[in-house]
Structure 1
């Protein structure tokens, strides 16, 4: 039996103190009070609490999903400036989410460089791409290295969406000597690279190479196994069916779609059908939330960007 403790927290990325979204309250010039949960769930979100007190011997974890409006590319702005600006927002989200006990944070597809531009232009996209190796902790100058450092700084697992370049001949673009992948990276709480996954079904096939099919999962230091897929992958049978067949039911899900295409109803239906959990982080101002076996456990208010939802999930 799944029982869940959830709380929605919103933040505005400004010097003002964050405002909790539930219950509604105005910005405060002092340190904000903890969220006012119902009496039946008024307890600290503590990842180290006894699992027996939650659901017998079941595992539990606290997740946060970001709802982030990416800074786009301006003609006078370099790709590096754009990505580092977005990383500043990521850091603020990580700071507040971990203060609420989050053990894993999910960031959206295109969160570092925006959707549509430069993603529709293969040449422009190359400025946003990096090589990725297993020693990201010792590469602090790279964007992927900075995400790794962020995970280590706040002692939290992170999944994020990046562009990876591999300097080999492209099968998708004959004659080119490089491969561009829409890539999801997963870091543990010490900053180590746990996994990377190449999106099996890229939306912009004129920009990104289509990889061989991959089935990628990882297990965090807090003992929960997660499977990876990205946005458009969800409407296909791969890699989801293979992951589910392996017994994986927990899925960080980076997405960049209007809520009309990838929203609450679809996520509820999918998680109910597969008895699974989606930690959906959407680009923009809607659609982000934690969905467990058909229930929207926590969601960020529609119309609010640079916010996040955090909740405790029991894996039974």
Structure 2
């Protein structure tokens, strides 16, 4: 599938510190950022992995079972409301409960707040003992005239082998993360994401958690890459929320990106 758009897609990645255990505060901050001049008028926004609940507690615990909700619960309703209120397609996280199992999920809403995509992280990271491996496969969906697919954080190490057809079909990969690198090592995304973009000729939007408590190596560095693997926008270093925004020219010939 190829993009039906002749014009660039105006996309943003929101980077913000986690507020562990404070979904209302997190959603209020997301609302503020979506309404800010830096994001106003954009067509598509991506939120970081599990940013509504937080990924890890200030004491280093990663058990998110108490935040689990059904697919039609309060968090999903609030994300849909934000999409409608700001007139923006929005992809955001959910600690999803379904038939007694929990999933690290991403929901995608169109600008009218209709859910058009649902993904369960296929490869929970080692501390995510609460989460079952996703069982929905890798989606390919049409949104805003472009073809979109999804991977979440640790999935990046497997997605090229497991979902090559989805990546090859897509114009854009939505890649939310709560990224962690080993202390003393560089940012692994700097090599992984350009290689993935070039291999599959897919643009990538990476929304990562910002510097937070606890402070972990790998926080920050949200970025947008074109299908040639070039970083076209990135969050500045340092604490605080950021809106990373780019106009991506998508489709079978991304040379104008």
Scaled by the length of structure 1, what TM-score is found? Answer: 0.68
Instruction: Describe how 1:119-198 pairs up with structure 2 within 5 A.
Output: 120-121=62-63, 125-133=64-72, 142-166=74-98, 168=99, 178-198=100-120
Deviation string, structure 1 residues 44-81 (Cα, Å, up to 9, x no partner): xxxxxxxxxxxxx73421000011101124xxxxxxxx
Q: CA 1:206 to 1:219, structure 2 compared with 1: closer, same or farther past 3 Å?
A: same
Aligned residue in 2 for 1:242: 165
Following the alignment from structure 1 to structure 2, what is the Cα–Cα distance between the partners of residues 196 and 101?
A: 24
Q: Is residue 177 of structure 2 the alignment partner of residue 274 of structure 1? A: no
Aligned residue in 1 for 2:34: 94
Deviation string, structure 1 residues 189-220 (Cα, Å, up to 9, x no partner): 00000111010111135211123351212222
* Unmatched segments (≥5 aa) in structure 2: 212-219, 252-257
| Number of residue pairs matched by the alignment | 230
Q: Say if 1:258 and 1:287, in contact at 8 Å, map to a contact too.
A: no
Aligned residue in 1 for 2:153: 231
Shift of 1:311: 0.9
Deviation string, structure 1 residues 147-178 (Cα, Å, up to 9, x no partner): 10000001100001110001x2xxxxxxxxx1
Following the alignment from structure 2 to structure 1, what is the Cα–Cα distance between the partners of residues 224 and 195?
A: 13
Deviation string, structure 1 residues 87-115 (Cα, Å, up to 9, x no partner): 01110111126754310000001211222
Aligned residue in 2 for 1:305: 240
Q: Say if 2:12 and 2:39, in contact at 8 Å, map to a contact too.
A: no
Aligned residue in 1 for 2:223: 289
Q: Say if 1:59 and 1:224, in contact at 8 Å, map to a contact too.
A: no
Larger Rg: 1
Instruction: Describe how 1:35-74 pairs up with structure 2 within 5 A.
Output: 58-73=6-21
Q: CA 1:149 to 1:230, structure 2 compared with 1: closer, same or farther past 3 Å?
A: same
Deviation string, structure 1 residues 105-155 (Cα, Å, up to 9, x no partner): 00001211222238632xxx222111014xxxxx7xx11101100000011
| Alignment root-mean-square deviation, CA | 2.1
Q: Aligned with 1:131: secondary structure?
A: coil
Q: Aligned with 2:249: secondary structure?
A: strand
Following the alignment from structure 1 to structure 2, what is the Cα–Cα distance between the partners of residues 258 and 162?
A: 20
Aligned residue in 1 for 2:217: none
Shift of 1:239: 4.6
